[in-house]
Amino acid sequence: MTGSNDRNDKGDGEDTTVTNIYRPIRPNPNPISPSELLNRYNKLLDRYPLRTKMITSAVVSAFGSALGSFLSSSNTNNNKPSNDKRQSPSRINWVDVFSYAIHGGLINAPICHYWFEWLATNGPSSNTSSVLVDQLVVQPPLLVLMFV
């Protein structure tokens, strides 16, 4: 039995083909450039703005929580004096990761989406004033809501 596809004749007239799972994986000869990836993301933002922002916010929030959890657990493990030479593996708190993803995707992204749309049409004309209004009016309640 050689080659990437081997025939398996059962003798009942049915011919099945078994794929060899040990063939090497070839890299993609035409990888997507970062600028093309950014163009695709911007097209998604134009076509589905709220959905794209919700998914992006959920992924970024979850990644930030996982990274923070990983780094804080590995930092804690390195500071403990121990007679045991084995290091306990770094732990990620998956409940926190899931919670941050839900908060980022279902709460923070929609509120910020509609808030910034409203602020762009009805808010101050100065960018500095818009940032000040955003940071004083909407961000404090969102911060409190994150920890509730």
Average pLDDT over residues 11-34: 69
Confidence bin at 25 (pLDDT 50/70/90): confident
More confident residue, 76 or 87: 76
pLDDT at position 31 is: 83
Which helix (H) or strand (E) segment holds residue 9: the answer is strand 5-9
Confidence bin at 86 (pLDDT 50/70/90): low
- 90 burial (CB, 10 Å; 0-12 / 13-18 / 19+) is middle
pLDDT at position 71 is: 92
With contact defined as beta carbons under 8 Å apart, do 62 and 97 qualify? yes
Question: Phi then psi for 66, rounded to 5 degrees?
Answer: -65, -45
